[in-house]
Amino acid sequence: MKSNQKLNSYLKEIADICEIKKPLTTHIARHTFATTVLLSNGVSMEATSKMLGHSSLKTTQIYGKILETRVGAEMEMLSEKLSKTKKGEKGDTKFGEAK
């Protein structure tokens, strides 16, 4: 296992090669992994907490607050799905019918 200092050095080198102006650190990498890879792809807060090694779910919930912008997009997806279901489009069931 590499130290955070060594990993930060590698990340700085990668940022230079890719002409990324924002500083890259292991902290930013963990944060990005939690928000864009795990939580935005539907991984539960509990599983994310375990993967990050947090001892408290409260610590992980900080990451979840950032994703509040996702709520609007998910409501839109739900609305579209319900609209299709209400219209009885193929592959969906109508309200009140069992699959």
> In the prediction, which pLDDT does 69 show?
62
User: Which residues does the chain have with pLDDT short of 50?
Assistant: 92, 94, 99
Which pTM does this prediction carry? 0.56
> In the prediction, which pLDDT does 77 show?
83
Q: Which residues contact 38 (CB under 8 A, 6 or more apart)?
A: 47, 48, 51
In a domain, 32, yes or no: yes
Residue range(s) defining the domain that contains residue 35: 4-86
In a domain, 25, yes or no: yes
Contact between 47 and 38 under an 8 Å Cβ cutoff? The reply is yes
In a domain, 38, yes or no: yes
Residues in the chain: 99
In a domain, 9, yes or no: yes
> In the prediction, which pLDDT does 48 show?
92
Q: How many domains are contained in the chain?
A: 1
Q: Which residues of 81-91 are buried (b: 16+ CB within 10 A; e: fewer)?
A: eeeeeeeeeee
> In the prediction, which pLDDT does 20 show?
93
- CA-nearest of 44, 4, 3 to 28 is 4
